[in-house]
Structure formats: structure tokens, C-alpha cells
Chains A and B, each alone.
Chain A
């Protein structure tokens, strides 16, 4: 007779983001998982830690002209231009489905002014099924001459405060890597009340076509994502985790459970899977499976033992 190995088949993968309890640390990244429904017949959505949906603005946005994407070495550039249906249609058309998926739904918001962030928060906070708000501060503040909210600590703090004041939901502020000192921004949004920070958003880059002597994206510049940015993202997660006390959500080039666990060692409480969803639509669920196996194999009491356990001695 074979021995059945004596181990817990349901290891403890739970993590907490503010008051939001996740059954595991694996989320999907905004803009890479649609409104979740697109993946419903490929992924068991209920097995994910949560889904972060495509960035929502106060009014619908058409986005940028084509071409919007171009592949680069081990990565891709995108200049989607935040195309989305607007918050009202999101609530009436997308939320009914999301309400039924039995996994926390985090809504990513973006605005051109502090007032827009305020209105978005007011509208979303009363919608059943919204578990948390992720604030994308990478967009330019049209009223302040187009400087991105995310590149100025005071403006980042101001956006965070206004969102916090208008919701009881956990607020995650998504940081832009296109700054001199990301820890400084992280600190500012923590002081303004953020429950967590997520990072990184895409790195600004560009690609040129020598043959046509033209930029490869209609928008000329775009955001770099995918495996190419993982080392940068890891470094930033490591730095930010050492300078704030709120949870850090790691994003950037994560494709496998090993990648995700590396981010946790560097200080991430949870992770988001982005570009990998395009190559393997099942990537997020496979990361959950891989982390489960790891926790069992390494006989951890919980996955939380991994958070910040990097040995730098």
C-alpha cells in the first residue's frame, strides 16, 4: 500500500490589503484582464486572489489611434490611451457580471483632475461588489499643466486624500516608475492615508522603425511591460517596502509562481499578473497553483512567511 503523504492540501495563502482579505496573493493587473469576463472560460476566476479591472474614467475615452502596441525584446510597448467605457456604463454594463464571480473586484480609476478622482470615488463606493479602489496616478493633471499626479509627492498625496475621504473601501495607490525617487511618492501617499501601494505601472519607452524613419507607435511613446521590466520592478518593490509600513503589491513582468515569490521576498504582500495574461491566458491561475505547491513543498505555515524574507546579509 502506498503512503499518502501527510500534508495539508489547503495551505494558508491568505494575505491582507488594508481591510481586504484575499484568499491568495495573486491579482490580475489593470488593463491586461479586460473586465474579467473575457477570461471566464479559460480561468477559474474564483481561484484568484482578486481581479483588477481596466482603468475607468469619469467619461468614456476613445483611446489613441493605431498602432497602439509593438513588441520589443522580452516585452511590449503600449499606448492604449486609457480607452474605456466610462464609469456609468462600467457600473450598468460590467458590474452585474463582476458581482457574480465570487472573487474580490478591485476597480482601477484615473482622472485628469482631483475633482474627477473625487466623483469617480463617490460613484463607485456605493456600488455593490466593488471590494477596493486602485488609484492610477500616472495620468497627467490637465489643470496643473499636464504634470503627472504620480511624479509629484504633493499631488499624489492630494489625490490619495480625496479618494480616502470619499470611500470606506480600501484604497490602493498605483505608483508610476517614471520618477526620480519612488519611495518618496510611496511615503507621501501613505501619509495621505493610502491602505496599500501597487507598483510598478509601465516604464515610458519608445521604438523606432529605421526603414520608414517613423516611430512604431502612433503616440510616439508608450509604456513598457513584460519580463523586460522585472528587474526594475523588483528593485522598486524592494526599496518601497523598506520605506513604508503599508502593504506593497508587486507588479512587473511576473509570469510564473517563481517570479511572484521573488517579489514577495523583496517585500510584496501580493502581486499582479499583467502582460503574461496575453501570452498565457491561464497565467494568473497557474501562479496560484505554483505558489500553493511551493508552500506545501517548503512546509511553510503560510505564504506570509515569504513577505520581505529576502536575506541580504
Chain B
């Protein structure tokens, strides 16, 4: 697995909502090497404060050597990123971690909530490349309201997989949570559920999967310093009270392997 540190030019800066931003970055080597579910570490400024890079999932890659990230402003680092401009450069390090495992023989159900939508696009695109028939596949996306989810849908609608949407306030798609939608559909037995989103959402997705004995892959988060297995700072409790490191063992895990306190 090769990683690269690139000075990436910001090709496009899109303010999707007050807090949500999509960045398109020119990163030749990272774009060529990336796999769905992997992430990059980005320096949010040139100064010593904030010191550490911030992790972001790869939203999609292009054959023209670009990657996209989708992020929400939640603190100092993301606030700085929200002020960058097209044409400027950012130090981007990646691709990092282990991504999703795709079995083309199985049906796929992708469930993304909030910023957890980010890795789902890259995954859906790769599934479409790998599988001849995606009729039994499904994507369920969730967000707070219409403005959060609507700008993201165009890219998904290009794909040959059905998309269902749920919003917390009912302003778009179904009124409710992605996990409510999940309850109303019958997943084929031979199916893998891929999910990313808030912890409680992933926990509920896993709970439903376990009941139906369906494989579930989750992309989880933790604080990170290095993103590459060197600092051991990103541990998370796995089954049998063992620790795993989110950056190097994950961020995608088989949900069975983690501790959910269900």
C-alpha cells in the first residue's frame, strides 16, 4: 500500500449549505491509488495551530487525477478549511486505511447518514464498475433536511442503483431516519450492508443486520494524530475487550468485530 503527500490545488470549492462544503482537489497519485472507504489527512492551515491534520473520507475520485471530500464545519480545523479558495493548495496525505471489501457476487445495500454519505458515493461507483447487475442493490441516504441532502444526490442519480432518501424534518424523501427506512425494506439474504454515519445510526443498522444475519461493514471514526499506524492514538474497543486502531485496522470494519454494547 503506497501513500503520498501531495500539495493539492483546490480545483473547486462548493459551499453546499451554511456548514457543508465539497472540495475538489488535484491529487494525481492519491486519486490513482485510492479505494472506496479510504481517507486522507489534510493540513487545514500553514501555521502550527491547529497542529494536526484532519481525516476526511474520499467522496469520489476521477480519472483526471482529482479527489473530492465532503465535510461539515465542526471546529477550528474545518472552519479554516471553509475559508480556503480555489487555486490555493492544501497538503493532502493518503490514501490511508483499509476500505470496504466488495464481493461482486452479493447484493449491496449502502446506508449513509449525515457526513457518512461521503464514502458511499465512491463505494457505489466502484460497485457499479465491478458488477454487471445492480438491480437488487440499494442506497439509503439520510440528512437533517432537504438542503443538506439534495446537492449530493445528482452524483448518485448518475449510477444504476436505486436511491432512497430520508430527512429528519421530512422536507425531502421519507420523514425519519435511515434506519426507519431500513426497517421497511426486505434485504435479500445474500446481501452486504455498508454503512457510515453517526455512531448511534451505525449501531442500529448493525442491530438490524444481526437480527437478519446479514453481513455489515461499518466505517468508523476516532481522533487521529498520524492516520498511518505510527502514534497508536486512534484505538477503539473491539470484541473481547481487544483494541483495534481505526486508521490502520480500519476505518472500515466488519461490524461483528467491534464492541457495540447492544
Contacts and interface: CB of A to CB of B under 8 A. Distances in A.
Interface of A: 31-34, 38-39, 41-42, 54, 62-63, 65-71, 73-76, 78, 80, 83, 226-227, 255, 275, 277-282
A71 B50 contact: yes
Contacts of A277: 226, 230
Contacts of A226: 48, 51
A69 B93 contact: no
A42 B3 contact: yes
A266 to B, nearest CB: 20
B231 A278 contact: yes
B43 A279 contact: yes
Nearest to B91: A280
B98 interface: no
B145 interface: no
Interface string B182-197: 0000000000000000
Contacts, number: 92
A282 B230 CA distance: 13
8 nearest CB pairs, A to B: A69-B233, A278-B226, A34-B230, A278-B225, A74-B48, A227-B48, A68-B233, A74-B49
A42 B91 CA distance: 14
A255 B243 CA distance: 30
Given A42-B5, A66-B237, A31 B231 contact: yes
Contacts of A39: 230
A252 to B, nearest CB: 14
Name A's interface SS.
loop
B222 A227 contact: no
A83 B232 contact: yes
Interface string B217-257: 00000111110111111111100001100000000000000
A120 B200 CA distance: 44
B51 A71 contact: yes
Contacts of B48: 74, 226-227, 255
Interface string B5-30: 10000000000000000000000000
Nearest to A41: B2
Contact of B231 (A78, A227, A282): A78
Given A66-B237, A280-B5, A76 B232 contact: no
B228 A38 contact: yes
B235 A63 contact: yes
Contacts of A281: 3, 5, 93, 226, 228
Interface string B85-126: 000000101000000000000000000000000000000000
B200 to A, nearest CB: 17
Nearest to A73: B49
A279 B230 contact: no
Given A31-B232, A69-B225, A71-B50, 15 more contacts: A34-B230, A41-B3, A66-B223, A69-B223, A69-B233, A74-B51, A78-B233, A80-B231, A83-B232, A83-B243, A278-B53, A278-B231, A279-B43, A279-B52, A279-B53
14 contacts: A31-B231, A39-B230, A62-B242, A66-B235, A66-B236, A68-B232, A69-B231, A76-B51, A76-B52, A83-B243, A226-B48, A277-B226, A278-B231, A281-B5
B3 A34 contact: no
B226 A62 contact: no
Contacts of B232: 31, 54, 63, 68, 80, 83
Contact of B235 (A41, A68, A75, A278): A68
B89 to A, nearest CB: 15
Contacts of B226: 277-278, 281
B78 to A, nearest CB: 13
A73 B3 CA distance: 28
Contacts of B230: 32-34, 38-39, 277-278
Contacts of A32: 230-231
Contact of B223 (A33, A41, A67, A74): A67
